[in-house]
Amino acid sequence: MDTPEQPQLYLITPSEIELSTFPDLLAAVLDAQPIACVRLSLATRDEDRLSRAADALREVTHARDIALVLSDHTLLADRLGLDGVHLSDAARSVRDTRKTLGEDAIVGSFCATSRHDGMSAGEAGADYVAFGPVQAGVLGDGSFVDLEVFQWWSETIEVPVVAEGALDETMVRTLTPYTDFFGIGEEIWNTDDPAQSLARLVAAMG
């Protein structure tokens, strides 16, 4: 994934989706804004449900030449011919995943609030490192990534960085100079008009 001056958009699906309606909703959002990548991030571990969801979303994303990655299920991502995998265990499985999927696949690593984990993931071969949440939210333990981590990363590390979790217009405005991607999910899917909600966040970059 390239890293131009303005951050790119990285969409994260809800943890539960309705296959009869979500692909059309996703298509509308993808057509409304330039999106670099979509992450299929379902709560279920059922391979049949994941496979059906991946097949449905791949039709939407690949028709628009947008990468589709799957959270954590490396072998399934490989079997389904997806573009890569997003790992949520920091740096622990990056190296093995890279060996399994090959050099061309996208291998991303979620490192929560840990700069050390991010550096380890980058050294292990991650294509990007994601930090989040960017501010304390109602979920979780109240921990969040300090702005200084993004500032330091942007100045020091070449591996692209994703800011995700608890984004709003203020945080987008603050982080735009320091992040390569915004990982946006529940911030828009929980609203009545996801495309319009995304447009408001995009406007804040600007």
**Helices 22-32 & 194-205 angle (0-180, nearest 10):** 30
The count of domains in the chain is 1
Q: Which domain holds residue 154?
A: 8-205
Contacts of 182 (CB under 8 A, 6+ apart): 7, 8, 9, 10, 162, 163, 164, 167, 172, 175, 201
Please list the residues that pair with 182 across neighbouring strands. Answer: 9, 163
118 phi-psi bin (left φ>0, alpha ψ -120 to 50, beta other): alpha
Say if 3 falls within a structural domain. Answer: no
How far is it, in rounded angstroms, from Cα 182 to Cα 137? 17
Dihedral over alpha carbons 88, 92, 94, 96 (to 10 degrees): -130
Query: Where are the extended beta strands (E) located within the chain?
Result: 8-12, 35-40, 67-71, 84-87, 106-110, 128-131, 161-164, 181-184
Say if 128 falls within a structural domain. Answer: yes
Say if 20 falls within a structural domain. Answer: yes
Angle at 136 between CA 6 and CA 147, to 5 degrees: 40
Are the C-beta atoms of 187 and 197 separated by less than 8 Å? yes
* Tens digits of residue pLDDT in 85-105: 999 999 999 999 999 999 999
Say if 56 falls within a structural domain. Answer: yes
Are the C-beta atoms of 87 and 108 separated by less than 8 Å? yes
* Tens digits of residue pLDDT in 139-158: 678 899 999 999 999 999 99
Say if 1 falls within a structural domain. Answer: no
Say if 138 falls within a structural domain. Answer: yes
Say if 48 falls within a structural domain. Answer: yes
- Provide the residue type at 136 as one letter: A
How far is it, in rounded angstroms, from Cα 99 to Cα 112? 24
**Helices 115-124 & 147-156 angle (0-180, nearest 10):** 30
What CATH number did the domain enclosing 137 receive?
A: 3.20.20.70
Q: How confident is the model at residue 137 (pLDDT cuts 50, 70, 90)?
A: confident
pTM for this entry: 0.96
Distances (CA, A) of 22 to 47, 119, 162: 19, 35, 24
* Tens digits of residue pLDDT in 146-192: 999 999 999 999 999 999 999 999 999 999 999 999 999 999 999 99
Say if 83 falls within a structural domain. Answer: yes
